[in-house]
Chains A and B, each alone.
Chain A
Amino acid sequence: MAKKIYSTYPMVKYLRKEALPTALCPGCGGGTVLNAFANAIDGLKIDPKDLVVVSGIGCSAWIASPYFLADTLHTTHGRAIAFATGVKVGLPDKKVVVISGDGDLASIGGNHLLHAARRNIDITVILVNNFIYGMTGGQVAPTTPFGAKTTTSPYRNIEHPLKISETVAAAGASYVARWTTAHVYQLIESIKKALQVKGFSLVEVISQCPVQFGRRNKMKEPAEMLRWFLKNSVPISRARNMSPEELEGKFVIGEFVNRERPEFTTELNKLIDEVQEHFGLKEE
């Protein structure tokens, strides 16, 4: 039965069949993200042999590692970007992609996220923001909306959520965009752009976790969560003319930055060349 479904799915060629079916819950936004990523790879005709996918720990970390058929590195919680930094320096000509959750990349791994953006190393990060720690049972996250209920904020969340895309854009990334799982085509286009940008790129995907977040916040069904995303999404062009009060509880979507800045591995290799030249070490 399951086999039949895979065989009719055109992106199946990008998946590690022996690892399927995925461990994600039915209705989880993770599937949409995997699909969008596969479509972006397919659209750009990137050979998976030229791809290394790195992830941390969490449901979202499983999206591409192990399921995507490429070199995949499933690392420790929060550290995926730091691992990916070593991979990228070793393989500067490959596409190095990090796919992981908001808790993983922006909470425990927040420091690596900021510094990779600052360094502007050519890594593409697809950050799945489901407002919650899904894998560990739905605890409050740094992205949980103010007032929302979770297993560790059973009365209501009194902390303010981190604006990930805004923060990473400010830290110096070359490309930053945010979409939701209800904006699949825009998401695919953004992932494509991110993969092509020479520098640090972040695509934040607001994604549904009906099981751990929706259920406790009056959105048990995945579709209810998607409707919530659509209803509250505000394009960045419009958001620029809105007050903070008006933007409260809204999802600003679109491209935050798309700019050229010197890239880390290129600069590193340039520096090595210069040093070798300076000390007369180049092969005679």
Chain B
Amino acid sequence: MIIRGNEPEQLRLLRKLYKPGNYFMQGNEAVAYGALFAGCRFYAGYPITPSSEIAETMARELPKLGGYYLQMEDEIGSIAAMVGASWTGFKVMTATAGPGFSLMQENLGYAVMTETPLVLVDVQRSGPSTGQATKGAQGDFFQARWGTHGDHPIVAVSPTSGQDAFWETIRAFNIAEKLRTPVVVLFDGVLAHTREQIKIPDVSEVEITYRKLPENEEEARLPFGDPHGDGVPPMPLFGHGYFTHVTGSTHKETGLRDVYTPEVHDRLVRRIHRKIEKNREVYEKYEEHFTDDAEILVVSWGVTARPALGAVLRAREEGIKAGLFVPKTVHPFPAERMRELGKRARAILVAEMNLGQMIIEVERYVNDDVLLKGVNKIGGVPLTVEEILREIRGVA
């Protein structure tokens, strides 16, 4: 029941419905198809621009694959329903934008605490508040990291194009399943609505992973234990007669609540952190262009990484030793690599569609003698190659 129906049947359906080849589609549609290829068969959501086409695509396609689309009464209910469905074995997803992401935060924390795999796509739009509801932005970098309360780890990935969105959504599912954790996809309104050529692969080219299930009764009795030493407990699904108790309150390895013993809280929350920290190879991902000899390093993410690459290419043509570093998993930040690159660069420019968010993260890993500067733009219009190039020339 991890994926409704048996796998060969699902592969047959996917092949029959989505012929490999090039399609002209929106980034939002690419996210939805990525989810379908990853095995998502449960979607609960609430419409919000600029994410709605993800819901619309899922509502249209999921029933064909035997999957479920639920339009809930609000975003809080959407993520709640996802958690419930995930405990029955479904791979689950929702998509939203700023205000909806804000509403989901409490239950995102619940998913972290109960180690429930789910994928939450935040199609970032301009804010604060209703802001420019239809315009793209990159202002939720820290909301993804610290939006919910308490000490908690989070994994967030960020695609840089429509094609990338297809693959990154699949990767988000694989991370969520492997680490039994919620994963945020920080997409944005610009790519969400950009139509471009997107290649749909054959299903055999897609790597799909599933959550670890208990191997025996003993493991099933410890839904929050660590029998394999990797920090990731096998997940005893509901409906299998295990009598599993799941609570967002501090719990022991058995799942039973204990909010009074300091050690129990310490042990649980540290393990949840450790399972993310120790499994970097599961999620760490970044892209580099011309970083070998770069004196000026542009760091960028998501939608802005594309004009940033254009600017670096143009700078190279002009003989400027520029390079580009793009974290694809933005949380946890690729600290090690950033530190190495930060040692070599003379100047670092952080380009993003906000007033400076990822730059705060970058700053933690670079020395004081490096010139660190933000290239920022808000207002709903993405940075252009020209705008970023101008800044590169300025520090060359």
A residues at B contact (CB < 8 Å): 16, 18-19, 48-49, 52, 54, 65-66, 69-76, 79, 82-91, 94, 111-112, 114-115, 268, 271-272, 275-276, 279, 281, 283
**Interchain residue pairs A-B with the least CB separation, the first 6:** A90-B88, A86-B84, A82-B80, A86-B85, A86-B81, A82-B77
- When C-beta atoms are compared, the residue in chain B nearest to A279 turns out to be B64
Q: Which of A16, A85, A94, A112 contacts B70 (CB 8 A)?
A: A85
Main secondary structure of the interface of B (DSSP, over half): mixed
B residues at A contact (CB < 8 Å): 1, 9, 12-13, 16-17, 42, 44, 63-64, 66-68, 70, 72-74, 76-78, 80-90, 92, 106-107, 110, 238-239, 241-249, 254, 256-257
* Distance in angstroms between the alpha carbons of A153 and B16 in the assembled complex: 63
Whether A76 pairs with B238 at a CB distance below 8 angstroms is no
Whether B248 pairs with A19 at a CB distance below 8 angstroms is no
Whether B77 pairs with A90 at a CB distance below 8 angstroms is no
Whether B257 pairs with A74 at a CB distance below 8 angstroms is yes
**A75-B248, A90-B88 known; A82 vs B76 contact (CB < 8 Å):** yes
Q: Which of A48, A72, A90 contacts B89 (CB 8 A)?
A: A90
Residues of A within 8 A of B242 (CB): 71
Residues of B within 8 A of A272 (CB): 63, 66-68
Residues of A within 8 A of B256 (CB): 16, 18-19, 66
Whether A112 pairs with B77 at a CB distance below 8 angstroms is yes
Whether A85 pairs with B77 at a CB distance below 8 angstroms is yes
**A52-B238, A66-B256 known; A275 vs B63 contact (CB < 8 Å):** yes
Measured between C-beta atoms, what is the minimum distance from B190 to chain A in Å?
31
**A91-B238, A271-B63, A281-B17 known; A66 vs B247 contact (CB < 8 Å):** yes
Whether A90 pairs with B107 at a CB distance below 8 angstroms is no
- When C-beta atoms are compared, the residue in chain A nearest to B62 turns out to be A272
* Distance in angstroms between the alpha carbons of A89 and B257 in the assembled complex: 27
Whether B64 pairs with A79 at a CB distance below 8 angstroms is no
Whether A71 pairs with B77 at a CB distance below 8 angstroms is no
Residues of A within 8 A of B68 (CB): 89, 268, 272
Residues of A within 8 A of B70 (CB): 85-86, 89
Measured between C-beta atoms, what is the minimum distance from B156 to chain A in Å?
21
* Distance in angstroms between the alpha carbons of A84 and B249 in the assembled complex: 18
* Distance in angstroms between the alpha carbons of A85 and B90 in the assembled complex: 13
Measured between C-beta atoms, what is the minimum distance from A90 to chain B in Å?
3
Whether B243 pairs with A85 at a CB distance below 8 angstroms is no
Whether B247 pairs with A83 at a CB distance below 8 angstroms is no
* Distance in angstroms between the alpha carbons of A91 and B238 in the assembled complex: 8
* Distance in angstroms between the alpha carbons of A144 and B243 in the assembled complex: 36
> Apart from A16-B256, A85-B81, A86-B83, what 6 extra A-B contacts exist at CB < 8 Å?
A74-B249, A76-B106, A88-B84, A90-B88, A91-B238, A272-B66
Residues of B within 8 A of A283 (CB): 9, 12
Q: Which residue, B13, B84, B254, has most C-beta atoms of chain A within 10 A?
A: B84
* Distance in angstroms between the alpha carbons of A82 and B75 in the assembled complex: 10
Residues of A within 8 A of B85 (CB): 86-87, 89-90
Residues of A within 8 A of B244 (CB): 71-72
Measured between C-beta atoms, what is the minimum distance from B203 to chain A in Å?
15
Whether A16 pairs with B89 at a CB distance below 8 angstroms is no
Q: Which of B80, B84, B110, B241 contacts A90 (CB 8 A)?
A: B84
Measured between C-beta atoms, what is the minimum distance from A76 to chain B in Å?
5
**A90-B90, A272-B66, A281-B17 known; A72 vs B246 contact (CB < 8 Å):** yes
> What are 19 of the A-B contact pairs (CB < 8 Å)?
A66-B247, A74-B247, A74-B248, A75-B110, A79-B80, A82-B84, A83-B80, A85-B44, A86-B44, A86-B70, A86-B86, A89-B68, A90-B84, A90-B87, A114-B73, A115-B72, A115-B77, A268-B68, A281-B17
* Distance in angstroms between the alpha carbons of A70 and B246 in the assembled complex: 11
Measured between C-beta atoms, what is the minimum distance from B213 to chain A in Å?
15
* Distance in angstroms between the alpha carbons of A71 and B72 in the assembled complex: 24
**A18-B256, A85-B81, A89-B70 known; A73 vs B63 contact (CB < 8 Å):** no
Whether A74 pairs with B246 at a CB distance below 8 angstroms is yes
Residues of B within 8 A of A271 (CB): 63
Whether A71 pairs with B248 at a CB distance below 8 angstroms is no
* Distance in angstroms between the alpha carbons of A70 and B87 in the assembled complex: 14
**A66-B256, A87-B238 known; A82 vs B81 contact (CB < 8 Å):** yes
Q: Which residue, B12, B16, B92, B238, has most C-beta atoms of chain A within 10 A?
A: B238
Residues of B within 8 A of A279 (CB): 17, 64
* Distance in angstroms between the alpha carbons of A113 and B246 in the assembled complex: 22
Residues of A within 8 A of B76 (CB): 79, 82
Measured between C-beta atoms, what is the minimum distance from B105 to chain A in Å?
11
Residues of B within 8 A of A89 (CB): 42, 68, 70, 81, 84-85, 88
Whether B72 pairs with A85 at a CB distance below 8 angstroms is yes
Residues of B within 8 A of A276 (CB): 63-64, 66
Measured between C-beta atoms, what is the minimum distance from B161 to chain A in Å?
30
* Distance in angstroms between the alpha carbons of A281 and B62 in the assembled complex: 12
* Distance in angstroms between the alpha carbons of A82 and B17 in the assembled complex: 31
Residues of B within 8 A of A52 (CB): 238-239
Whether B74 pairs with A111 at a CB distance below 8 angstroms is yes
Measured between C-beta atoms, what is the minimum distance from A58 to chain B in Å?
12
Residues of B within 8 A of A74 (CB): 245-249, 257
* Distance in angstroms between the alpha carbons of A88 and B70 in the assembled complex: 12
Measured between C-beta atoms, what is the minimum distance from B40 to chain A in Å?
13
- When C-beta atoms are compared, the residue in chain B nearest to A114 turns out to be B73
